[in-house]
Structure 1
């Protein structure tokens, strides 16, 4: 039996002035070399458990119980900060979810790695520069000699996360804790990071505690899983046993919600509420009901379907959206940036979207997806080419034309908290587009009530502020605001990437219903290929500002022609495949 690295016994955490614990009698252990996944929704207590092991609990929280770490004498919960500082990095280290928040923006990344080595005195000062380079090479940082002199904002998200991993492993800790380290990364970068974490943990024979809401990642990375719900551990055991035969209803609900390949008899994703009919990952055929294709993408792929369903134009009608030969070049200006080369964000992009179509747009960061959306919505101008939405030529539209465009094309953004004004009540946020149209107060309130009900929010909550809602509820508010003007086109820009799997399933089901009920044309932008496959009838794949592949979703996914598309599909975590490969 391997040595126990961490032993948590009856850990209970209570906020100051509250009788209700946020963690309640949590007990767990991790052995040397063991890989343990910790899963559960936001607010379940995952990050608090990790912070307790690291000795990083905020002062306003009262903790009882014991946390012991091999090589550290005494209870971590009651130890002094000076002793805890030595424990961190030497014995236990952590990779956080958002590297931009964890890294010092005013220090070069090489200096930040060197600081950890200096503080812990594990490397002679003269050898620190060589060790910094060695660590950057070990995490496969492109051009490590240049990277160590860069500031965090000069690196990509994946590169910043590599720096965090280098810092975490600088002093060869015995336990590595990863708290949602790949949530914001593209699928290919995520796969690289997961492979790298696995490789580095093996190289130093460390234990791993991997916190995530992605069950497919846990199945591929971990041997054992711990399931948390409302501050308690509800189930723990071998990954394959828990994921194929869960005993707790909540675990079953998480599994059902995370499986984008499984749907109920109505073609809806399973949720915590409907998980009772779920048969397990990889079992049965998906029962997804999608609209018949009416797409023709600019890569030459066409569809001869001549039947127009509800909300679609009759055969022979011009497409609702036409993008023809669109390019966008950003030319840096100002004295400081004068010598920098122009950036080609879009390069001869062409495609059409017919009324009622559900089009997915996939690609990595920097592929041109966001630039394309900005041009479609009139927020940016193309350098060349033509964009038509309805009867509006977007690149030459007047102010009145742009107002009409934005009534008919609405966007739901990735982060609802950033896109909702924190000082406005929900009723004012949702009604704001109606104010611009001159709709009277009583009529506005009536429409807001109806729209909140349509997105499954209690209209009685309209007097509350955004911070008083959960992430999923805030995204519903964003959707309500987008649909209040009854637009023809809904553009969803990564709308579920930051949500828990159970909330993601609810929001995707909601979008499906609303697209049908309001006869919407949907443009859905995502780096999650599983979400796009469930929701969209057609897909275009973008790389380096160009469309490299397009067509019906099932055809592109099942028989991709381009190597880039194949790499995206192969990198997408899949629960059934991970369990099958053990």
Structure 2
């Protein structure tokens, strides 16, 4: 008998069909992954399974059965009796989903308070057991923590514990690992797989086929509100039938282009950089690097490894406690901002979140014009230069009239790159530029960066937790852990013969040992899982110790 049965699911919102005729069936002890790009309808489908579609949406279904209960015509009161007890949700952003004013224990106890008659002492006992079941380190202490006192991976574990505490038959996980580092992602995916193996039906919503390959038994591919392909995970990834599925799989297998050894002049160099913060200790320790004209250096590491602090040191936003940064041989940091100002336009930053980086009240064209005027372009000439910048990053000039919230994530990120290019920099520092984007959009942005470098000779530093992404553009790679560089070398060398155990763990967690050579995964369940003895599982990584500085 299926734990979840859906037939003819249709969602209409504001007169537009968002989901059309979706059919799903998930058995106990089975994981179904619903994959697709942003706007495919997968998250709307997930929320409809829990009676959480927006108020202005009309949801109808021929069959919608949750743990044997017909909820196809359920009102909110009926849904409250099902949601949280028979079916539970794990959201993408645990920091937003968890109440910052309540301790983790109270958050986990709430479903028990709603759905059971347990005493307060019994609720606390079950909440602690739920935390222990998701392998929360030092659960008896962390049950008293607030969400901001936990790292991303630990918050996600707490959110999963909150979903599991009532022993629901079905769990829906909506992009549960999108914002997490590679090895932390794998821990969460392994945890979800253990939940499935214990008999829970799991529906995972994701645009990340790497995550899906690790956890799912079956895949349903959505496009424009319809399921266009469904089948066993190994079969779909090895031989996708629908053209859209083939596009997704091709994007997942980002091809690493041949890269030549960097030979240009050194434009940015760092020697012995160190930086500490009160209460956090040393975040960057004795880091040295050299960036050559026309080349890309990839800096890889997990949250807390120090890579973002290193970027701020290279930009001159933070001053080092020791060491120095030079720009074409001239002192850059430490130095006064007045001394740096004449060269400030030569080094530009592209943020991870372009929505936050743009003023939401301004059109994209106005933001680009402001950047051009900062670079000395006259107001009269800026309109033509805005159009040229947008075309340079493969955007329609008409996008200049739109606000950041009116374009897609990939378009916003390309607009952010255009703004960074407005002043004609020699160096771009890109901090997680594609982490929140769909796989095919990632490919588009990475291809754009490669083309811009070929055409302009610009040097780039790409900061990421995803070796798969870095491999697509980087000539050289530095791997950071605990503020130190544990491995560095050419991209080909590091991928061919990784020396440090942590680098090898990242490669396996990122599934770089097969998919990027065009190989199809075999026996996908457990594919490329880290062994229980792997340092990425057993090592005291910063992420698993609590919230960590960048």
1:398-417 map, 5 Å: 398-417=336-355
Query: Is the Cα contact below 8 Å between 2:88 and 2:171 reproduced in 1?
Result: yes
1:30/1:207 contact within 8 Å kept: yes
Q: How many Å separate the matches in 2 of 1:149 and 1:82?
A: 32
Q: CA deviation at 1:367?
A: 0.5
**Which residue, 264, 273, 276 being the options, matches 1:329?**
276
Greater gyration radius: 1
Partner of 2:175: 180
2:380 aligned with 1:430, yes or no? Answer: no
After superposition, give the CA deviation of every residue in 1:331-376 in whole Å (9 maximum; x if it has no partner): 2xxxxxxxxx452111111122222221000001011111011111
Equivalent position of 2:318 in the other structure: 380
Determine which of 251, 261, 266 is the counterpart of 1:293. 261
Cα RMSD, aligned residues only: 1.7
With the length of structure 2 as denominator, give the TM-score of the two structures. 0.91
Shift of 1:184: 0.4
Secondary structure of the residue aligned to 2:45 is helix
| Matches of 1:529 and 1:59, distance apart in 2 | 41
Residue 94 of structure 1, CA deviation? 1.3
Corresponding residue for 1:42? 38
Within 5 Å, give how 1:133-144 maps onto structure 2: 133-144=128-139
Q: Secondary structure at the match of 2:180?
A: coil
User: Which of 338, 342, 347 is residue 285 of structure 2 equivalent to?
Assistant: 347
- 1:579 partner SS: coil
Q: Which range moves more in the overlay, 501-510 or 558-567?
A: 558-567
2:372–2:422: 8 Å Cα contact kept in structure 1? yes
Please tell me whether the aligned partners of residues 182 and 190 of structure 1 are also in contact (alpha carbons under 8 angstroms). yes
Matches within 5 A, 1:13-412: 13-16=11-14, 18=15, 20-71=16-67, 73-76=69-72, 78-121=73-116, 123-203=118-198, 205-260=199-254, 262=255, 288-290=257-259, 292-294=260-262, 308=263, 312-313=264-265, 319-331=266-278, 341-412=279-350
Asked if the contact 1:4/1:30 (under 8 Å) is kept, the reply is yes
Contact kept in structure 2, 1:538 and 1:551, CA below 8 Å: yes
Query: 1-side partners of 2:344 and 2:413: how far apart?
Result: 19
Whole-angstrom distance in 1 between the partners of 2:62 and 2:91: 23
Provide the C-alpha distance between the structure 2 equivalents of 1:70 and 1:114, rounded to a whole number of angstroms. 23
Larger relative contact order (Cα-Cα within 8 Å, sequence gap ≥ 6)? 2
Deviations 1:79-126 (A, max 9, x none): 122221221122111111101111111100011111112211164433
Counterpart contact for 1:22–1:45, Cα < 8 Å: yes
Q: In 2, Cα distance between the equivalents of 1:353 and 1:117?
A: 55
Question: How many angstroms does 1:327 deviate by?
Answer: 0.8
Take 1:405 and 1:158, find their aligned partners in 2: how far apart are those partners? Answer: 39
Aligned residues of 1:392 and 1:401 also touching (Cα < 8 A): no
Q: What are the equivalent positions in structure 2 for 1:523-538 lying under 5 Å apart?
A: 523-538=461-476
Per-residue CA deviation, residues 210-231 of structure 1 (Å, 9 max, x unaligned), is 1111112212211211010011
Indicate the residue corresponding to 2:540 in structure 1. none
Q: How many Å separate the matches in 2 of 1:503 and 1:185?
A: 19
Instruction: Give the 3-state SS of the residue equivalent to 1:160 in structure 2.
Output: helix
Any conservation in 2 of the 1:6–1:67 contact (CA below 8 Å)?
A: no
- 1:480 deviates by 0.3
Unpaired runs of 5+ in structure 1?
263-285, 295-307, 314-318, 332-340
Match of 1:579 among 497, 521, 525: 521
Aligned partners of 2:224 and 2:75: how far apart in 1?
29
Could you tell me which residue of structure 2 aligns to residue 513 of structure 1? 451
- Could you say which residue in structure 1 is the equivalent of 2:420? 482
Distance in 2 of aligned mates of 1:289 and 1:122: 63
SS state at 1:423 partner: coil
User: Deviating runs (4+, > 6 A) in structure 1?
Assistant: none
Equivalent residues of 1:53, 1:67 under 8 A apart: no
**Cα deviation code 1:300-327 (max 9, x no counterpart):** xxxxxxxx4xxx33xxxxx221211111
- Tell me, yes or no, if structure 1 residue 10 matches structure 2 residue 4: no
2:345–2:375 CA contact under 8 A, matched in 1: no
Does residue 459 of structure 2 align to residue 465 of structure 1? no
Report deviation, 1:581: 3.8
Structure 2 portions without partners, runs of 5+: 525-550
Please state how far the C-alpha of 1:71 moved relative to its aligned partner: 4.0
1:125-146 deviations in Å (ceiling 9; x for gaps): 3322222211111111111121
CA shift in 2, pair 1:564/1:122, >3 Å: farther
**Distance between the aligned counterparts of 1:538 and 1:556, measured in 2?**
9
Aligned to 1:303: none
Paired residues in the alignment total 520
Q: After TM superposition, give the deviation of residue 67 of structure 1 in Å.
A: 4.5
C-alpha offsets along residues 156-203 of structure 1, whole Å, 9 cap, x if unaligned? 000000001101111111111111100000001011111111112322
